[in-house]
Amino acid sequence: MPKQPLAKSIQDFILDHIHTVAQMEALLFLHAQPRERWAAAEMAKRLYATEREIVIALAALHRDGFLSEADGHYQFDASPERAALVEELAEAYRHQLIPITNLIHGKRRNINAFSDAFKLRRDR
């Protein structure tokens, strides 16, 4: 069976909103449990990530309108349109884990390569 390419909507969603695999997994974790509220430390243990990674991920997801936050606890709380995109991402991740993680990691490599182009180098 030939591999299906990632849907453009998923690619765009990742490029616009997902910066790390930990961030994506935090989003999918909360999406799967929409009635539950989680603190960053609890989520970090569940997702085998550092608390710092999860704090940064949750702050970005909250800023982008995917989560609500009260007293340091986060809950999935997105508009129907955004919730549909997250559901599409969850489905794609079940079947296309490698292409999705490659896209996320590639995005970081491209950002690093771009910023490296502006570093001053001393000629020897």
The answer to whether residues 107 and 23 touch, using CB atoms and an 8 Å cutoff, is: no
Q: What is d(CA 42, CA 97) in angstroms, rounded to the nearest whole number?
A: 24
Mean per-residue pLDDT over the chain, rounded = 87
What is the pTM (predicted TM-score) of this model?
A: 0.82
Confidence band of 78 (pLDDT split at 50, 70, 90):
very high
Helix (H, G, I), strand (E, B) or coil at 116: helix
Structure tokens at 33: 């449990």
Average pLDDT value for residue range 76-81: 96
Q: What is d(CA 94, CA 110) in angstroms, rounded to the nearest whole number?
A: 25
Given a cut of 70, whether residue 32 has pLDDT beyond it is yes
98 sits in which H/E element: helix 97-116
Given a cut of 90, whether residue 1 has pLDDT beyond it is no
Given a cut of 70, whether residue 33 has pLDDT beyond it is yes
Average pLDDT value for residue range 94-115: 74
Checking DSSP bridges between strand 67-70 and strand 73-76, what pairing results, if any? antiparallel
Average pLDDT value for residue range 95-117: 70
Q: What is the pLDDT of residue 48?
A: 95
Say how many C-beta atoms besides its own lie within 10 A of residue 2's C-beta. 4
Q: What is d(CA 86, CA 6) in angstroms, rounded to the nearest whole number?
A: 14
